[in-house]
Structure 1
Amino acid sequence: MDGGTGWIGRADALARLGVKTQTLYAYVSRGRITARPDPADPRRSQYASSDIERLIRGETAPHVEKAAARGEAELLTSLGAEADGRPHYRGHDVVTLAETATLEQTARLLWGAEGLQPFAELRPRVDLFTAGTIRSRVFATLARRAGEAGPRAGDDPAAMVAEAAVALNEAVDAASGPGPRSHFHQRLARGWKMVERDAHLLRRALVLCADGRMSAAILATRTAASGGACMAGAALAGLTTLGTAELMRRTQAATAFVVAARRDPQTRLDDGASTDDPRGPSLLAALSLPADLEAVRRRVEDDSGRAADLPLALALTARALDLPREAAVDLVLIGRLTGLLGHALDQRRSGSPIRARVRYVGPRPGAN
């Protein structure tokens, strides 16, 4: 039995497969069974029970071997998944969660720290970054945290969660500016000089943005964490590649579209910002759009035959609240930072292997 963890020891693996130790090792080396160090004893290994069951059923999982040959990576995560077309965080429906959860509660869920209160005693930093865009301030804050912590600041579970909480707390302060210790969404609302009654829209948006499908940002974060980077350093590695992630790219496109479409009704969104993802309708359901923005939404939905997706919903929300031009992108940045810190924690705890094969295709050595 794997005790619900998805991992079993060598003896159990050999018993299930009915093979010798050498064969088990061969399966691992060929990428057909994923192995990791045993958290209780790094000298021993554990094996993914799902891979073993697949082999028992006679499935060879050729996609794993082909992915390795292409230089792609296969990752194991316990954070986010989709079921029946709906996103989930650790088994919790995201849309339902966003109805009431704060970003702090979502962080504890994604970080596997629901029994902890890592944000309770945190205080503002005196030497806060206040110049530049929100993006540049958040990046500078994480870089400083990484420089202060150094590599492999510790593997104690509670200490790593505390480290992640400090990084997120300082990043939100960098985005919102100094002020009273309130919830993250309230601090952002204060920084944007929003009407207090509308702050719940930021809360909902941040929760909806916290995690998503596999992306280069997640791979970068987990690779850095696997290599020993601290929480802030691993998350920074992910944020620097976040611009290539679908959610960020489409949010940038949707922001530009909404601005243009308010001026010219003939403007059309070429990026297909409509989908069956329920996160967009969830955010817009909590907001009463002014007539011109409602018309923009309807045009997109009529053109596509689907409800507005999350990027368009974020762009419409930012404009309806009269937030800065890049506010929708900044919400993705802060929300996704929470999830990336979760991936860094998950990677350090699980030791999930990140395998990629590199083949040299340059000039023959010694030819020049």
Structure 2
Amino acid sequence: MDWIDAATAADRLGVKPATLYAYVSRGVLKRRHDGRRSMFDAAEIEQLARRGRPRGQPPELVIESSVTALGLDRPYYRGHDALTLARTHPFESVAELLWTGSPGMWPADPSASQGGRDTTRHEAADPGGRGLSRREEADRGRAARAAEVDRGGASRGVEPGGWAGEVGALRAAVAAQRGLPAELLPLDRLQVIVTVLGASDSLRHQLDPVSVAATGRRLISGLVDALPLVGAESATGSIAERLWPRLTGREPTPALVDALRAAMVLLADHELAASTLAARVAASAKADPYAVVLTGLGVLGGPLHGGASYGAERMLAEITDPGLAPRVIGERVRRGERIPGFGHSVYNNGDARGAALLDLVESAAPGHDRVAAARAVLSETRRRRLPEHNIDMALATLAAVAGMVSGAGEAVFAIARTAGWLAHAMEEYSKGTLLRLRASYTGPPPIHAT
């Protein structure tokens, strides 16, 4: 069997590389990986070239993007393996990578890895300042002082260009939530927070890359710091460390906070997922970054997207003992329901992000009954030959082990994916053309006036 690379295959078919990968996601073509390259069966490409566009398939909306490529079982951010980034980099660094192509001022410390599990701490989480330059130590000190947070969630100071929200905007976002029901899910609160932060930001219409990246830092910081506190205040530190007490009242452990950080890295982007496509359409119309994120949030909560983690959380809560897993799964199968947290429209043979995150959670909390319940679910779904689990199931397990509030997984997903939405928005801002899909009309013939 002869194998050819993607460029050769696309050239033979007369399509763009993005269309070639769309054929893969729809099952029209198969591929294998040769190192970091995708390789295609030359005979299969030749057969498709002679046959023409696959029949019975709707035309693809193909959008060229340099943000994320989807591999066989994982995404690659700007060419970097997301699983490797999750082991070695803080979320802030990965967001900078998505926005600028460079990880910026948040370097990883690979030497901190112990026993195959990353224990990297970045500048804001390293109390001893180990591995930092004098300038970085000074920046860290200023950021720590600037990021002191009131009990209500509003920062007392702002570090220009840093990961901190604007004081007035944060206080307004906190105040806007005071009349909301206490049991409101975090994802619903995030929509309120984004609206208020956007209305308070006089720079929201600056759409050049540098300005959008600065908006992204303020926005993500605001999303975290304006959520109500559940646990003890974490006035300084990384986004993951600040997010922890907004989702759980339990004392943080380094290993579990590290799993939360890794989850955010793994969820930062996923090519043209439904919410990202919606966000790109909004950006193509020159909607400001806050409106772009609101658009993404509106789509993400659907049960076939980011809302799947909420369904997985509820399913896991039913399994109070691992021995109940067969009954819980069996009842859902009998009712014809989708098993939340299982299967993936792209990764037919398993989502490596989910496997990596679940391993991290298990390593952080060995012997935990919620991990045992999750493993029992995986065993039962495999016994029934159901699809493999995805990152939503692993995210639900992390939430359960950490004792997070209901719907916490959706919030983690949304805050992390904000980085990806803004990276895609930057591409649309630079193009200056409106994304305009066309419908294939199937209704009654138009009636022409006589």
TM-score (norm 2): 0.61
Q: Which residue of 2 aligns with 1:195?
A: 251
CA contact (8 A) 2:301 2:410 kept: no
1:126 to 171, 175, 190: 171
CA contact (8 A) 2:164 2:218 kept: no
1:139 to 191, 194, 204: 191
Take 1:103 and 1:326, find their aligned partners in 2: how far apart are those partners? 21
Take 1:258 and 1:89, find their aligned partners in 2: how far apart are those partners? 31
Relative to structure 1, the CA distance from residue 256 to residue 200 in structure 2 (aligned partners, 3 Å threshold; closer, same or farther) is: same
1:302 to 367, 376, 379: 379
- Relative contact order higher in (CA < 8 Å, ≥ 6 apart): 1
Structure 1 residue 64: Cα displacement? 12
Structure 1 residue 233: Cα displacement? 0.7
| Pairs within 5 Å for 1:80-91 | 80-91=68-79
Q: Which residue of 1 aligns with 2:299?
A: 241
1:78 to 66, 73, 90: 66
CA contact (8 A) 2:371 2:401 kept: no
Unpaired segments of 5 or more residues in structure 2? 1-6, 20-44, 106-160, 344-348
Relative to structure 1, the CA distance from residue 84 to residue 77 in structure 2 (aligned partners, 3 Å threshold; closer, same or farther) is: same
Relative to structure 1, the CA distance from residue 190 to residue 299 in structure 2 (aligned partners, 3 Å threshold; closer, same or farther) is: closer
CA contact (8 A) 2:194 2:294 kept: yes
Give per-residue Cα distances to partners, 1:6-48, cap 9 Å, x unaligned: 9xxxxxxxxx9xxxxxxxxxx9xxx9xxxxxxxxxxxxxxxxx
The worse-fitting range, judged by mean Cα deviation, of 141-150 and 84-93 is 141-150
Structure 1 residue 322: Cα displacement? 1.2
Question: Which SS does the other structure have where 1:81 is aligned?
Answer: strand
2:96 to 108, 113, 121: 108
TM-score (norm 1): 0.73
Q: Which residue of 2 aligns with 1:267?
A: 328
CA contact (8 A) 1:89 1:110 kept: yes
Question: Which SS does the other structure have where 1:88 is aligned?
Answer: strand
CA contact (8 A) 2:204 2:215 kept: no
Q: Which residue of 1 aligns with 2:122?
A: none
| Pairs within 5 Å for 1:1-368 | 62=53, 67=58, 73-112=61-100, 114=102, 118-120=161-163, 122-124=165-167, 125-129=170-174, 130-131=177-178, 132=180, 133=184, 134-148=186-200, 153-175=205-227, 177=229, 180-191=235-246, 192-197=248-253, 198-244=256-302, 246-262=304-320, 264-265=324-325, 266-268=327-329, 270=333, 271-272=338-339, 273=342, 276-287=350-361, 288-305=365-382, 308-351=389-432, 354-358=435-439, 361=443, 364=446
Question: Which SS does the other structure have where 1:74 is aligned?
Answer: coil
Relative to structure 1, the CA distance from residue 181 to residue 293 in structure 2 (aligned partners, 3 Å threshold; closer, same or farther) is: closer
Question: Which SS does the other structure have where 1:182 is aligned?
Answer: coil
Q: Which residue of 2 aligns with 1:46?
A: none
CA contact (8 A) 1:145 1:233 kept: no
RMSD, aligned CA: 3.6
Give per-residue Cα distances to partners, 1:251-277, cap 9 Å, x unaligned: 122111101122544211653526511
The worse-fitting range, judged by mean Cα deviation, of 227-236 and 160-169 is 160-169
Take 1:67 and 1:347, find their aligned partners in 2: how far apart are those partners? 24
The worse-fitting range, judged by mean Cα deviation, of 352-361 and 97-106 is 352-361
Take 1:214 and 1:204, find their aligned partners in 2: how far apart are those partners? 21
Amino acid at match of 1:295: A
Unpaired segments of 5 or more residues in structure 1? 1-5, 7-15, 17-26, 32-53
Relative to structure 1, the CA distance from residue 60 to residue 126 in structure 2 (aligned partners, 3 Å threshold; closer, same or farther) is: farther
Take 1:352 and 1:65, find their aligned partners in 2: how far apart are those partners? 29
Q: Which residue of 2 aligns with 1:34?
A: none
Relative to structure 1, the CA distance from residue 241 to residue 362 in structure 2 (aligned partners, 3 Å threshold; closer, same or farther) is: farther
CA contact (8 A) 1:189 1:199 kept: yes
Structure 1 residue 230: Cα displacement? 0.7
Give per-residue Cα distances to partners, 1:254-304, cap 9 Å, x unaligned: 111101122544211653526511111211222235453343233332233
Question: Which SS does the other structure have where 2:211 is aligned?
Answer: helix
Give per-residue Cα distances to partners, 1:144-194, cap 9 Å, x unaligned: 233345898123321121122222221121235586242111111122233
CA contact (8 A) 2:78 2:98 kept: yes
Amino acid at match of 1:119: G
Question: Which SS does the other structure have where 1:175 is aligned?
Answer: coil
Amino acid at match of 2:328: T
Of all paired residues, the percent bearing the same amino acid is 24
Amino acid at match of 1:207: V
Take 1:196 and 1:292, find their aligned partners in 2: how far apart are those partners? 18
Relative to structure 1, the CA distance from residue 59 to residue 237 in structure 2 (aligned partners, 3 Å threshold; closer, same or farther) is: farther
Question: Which SS does the other structure have where 2:173 is aligned?
Answer: coil
